[in-house]
Amino acid sequence: MSDTRLPALHETPIPGLFVVDLDLRGDNRGWFKENWQRAKMVPLGLPDFGPVQNNVSYNDEVGTTRGIHAEPWDKFVSVVHGKVFGAWVDLREGPSFGAVFTTEIDASKAVFVPRGVGNSYQTLEPDTVYSYLVNDHWSPDAGAKYTFLNLADETAAIQWPIPLEQAILSEKDKAHPRLTDVSPMAPRKTLVLGAGGQLGRALRAVYPDAEFATRAELDLAAPGLESARPWRDYGVIVNAAAYTKVDLAETADGRRDAWAANVAGVAALARIAADNGITLVHVSSDYVFDGTADGHPEDEPFSPLGVYGQTKAAGDAIVQTVPRHYIVRTSWVIGDGANFVRTMASLAERGVDPSVVDDQVGRLSFTADIAAGIRHLVDTGAPFGVYNLTGSGEPVSWAEIARRVFARTGHDAARVTGVTTAEYFAGKQVAPRPLNSVLPLDKIEAAGFTPRDHLVALDEYLTQE
């Protein structure tokens, strides 16, 4: 044997199911192959699925037939010895439900089987050894999450080389349901943390089928987080939870609480995401920068001024160790809840003439746009990494925002007096603020998402109040 195959990937009619030509090398002694080689196969287009367990099935007779089983994890199946006729049926929710693909595989081929696709095979040679590389651990209760299809289902109409009445089947496989009686396997769920906040409420509109949890329902800093949920059931976690009391974070108690929520809790969540192949979306802040630059691109080194910014920067650094992550960095957040715009509108209505800082510059970020941008990144499979996500348009100061709120609500904008940050906070114990919070949007726009102009969005927001 002298055959050498370079790894190659072939698509099939089932989305996400791939046939792989393996690197098989042989000589007069036999053969050697790289059955799974991450550094070669991921660049070809296979998911970096993180296998954790290898199972092997030995079949001594021709015609041994196993399946059709769809498990709640991904599989990389191959033949160690012999040859099989493989058959796969898509048993996931969606338009490809019921799609079928068949092929013969021997030691030179493997098949990547995504979660929810039914896997089955029939041996064509004696002493066939079949291998499963999977990305979750088998457990006694795992079978309750399987989805099954009868090998003889008339809709799938698999043309088994050896008729099933002559093949070797288990009684369990014979009893599996027909396609019309199969409950499709649902996709992995989305979990949104920080459900009670402004962004959490906005995320309900773009993730109507997600699970939402407040801190009282799921405290990231509490012990036992690893067993708090069946984490393999989740495909995406959006972390909109954070300690955001910027000034209180400068106190002894506030500092401890900020580090617990924004660092220790995020570290625990990051471990869970990495261990379970979850995409972690983490919301960050302009406070990770000191505000001395004209704008803060995604790759600018951290330079936080206060405790809150320090904890957010530490959390960002931790999240970047998760293989599948999006860090969404935003600023000047406005949504459904107490915020600067509502405060200014209330002052205008009550006849209060405020002094507002005019040397802090940035753009408003409306939670509806942040939520839509998060959904866009996840759904389009944008490259993992850090993305700035604020409103677009011309940056302005807080004082200019206040004057616009006064004017748009029918009040005299001249009632707003501009002052410097130093003047405004003179004699007060507060956290330092970045003076420039402008976050360039080139990267997220290149990913296909353009936020609304923040001043236009402000006008729309005020008409809804």
CA torsion through residues 340, 346, 348, 354, sign:
negative
Neighbours of 128 (CB within 10 A): 23
C-alpha to C-alpha distance for 10 and 26, rounded to whole angstroms: 23
C-alpha to C-alpha distance for 270 and 275, rounded to whole angstroms: 8
Helix then strand then coil, % of the chain, to nearest 5: 30, 25, 45
Please check whether residue 262 is in contact with residue 318, taking contact to mean a CB–CB distance below 8 angstroms: no
Instruction: Name the 3-class secondary structure at 82.
Output: coil
Tokens of 78: 């191959």
Tokens of 11: 């698509």
C-alpha to C-alpha distance for 190 and 188, rounded to whole angstroms: 7
Please check whether residue 390 is in contact with residue 332, taking contact to mean a CB–CB distance below 8 angstroms: yes
Q: How many helices (H) and strands (E) does the chain have?
A: 12, 25
Please check whether residue 74 is in contact with residue 112, taking contact to mean a CB–CB distance below 8 angstroms: yes
- Going by C-beta distance under 8 Å and a sequence separation of 6 or more, which residues neighbour residue 152? 164
Q: In the sheet where 147-148 sits, what is the strand order?
A: 100-105, 84-90, 117-123, 65-70, 147-148
What is the DSSP secondary-structure string of 274-329?
Answer: HHTTPEEEEEEEGGGS-S-SS---TTPPP---SHHHHHHHHHHHHHTTSSSEEEEE
The alpha-helical segments, DSSP class H, found in 37-183 are: 38-44, 171-174
Which residue in the list 69, 176, 325, 376 is annotated as catalytic?
69
Residue 233 dihedral angles phi and psi, to the nearest 5°: -80, -10
Establish whether 411 is a catalytic residue.
no
Establish whether 81 is a catalytic residue.
no
Which residue in the list 121, 132, 243, 387 is annotated as catalytic?
132
Nearest to 439 by CA among 322, 283, 238, 335: 283
Start-to-end CA span in the chain (Å): 76
Catalytic positions, written as ranges: 69, 132
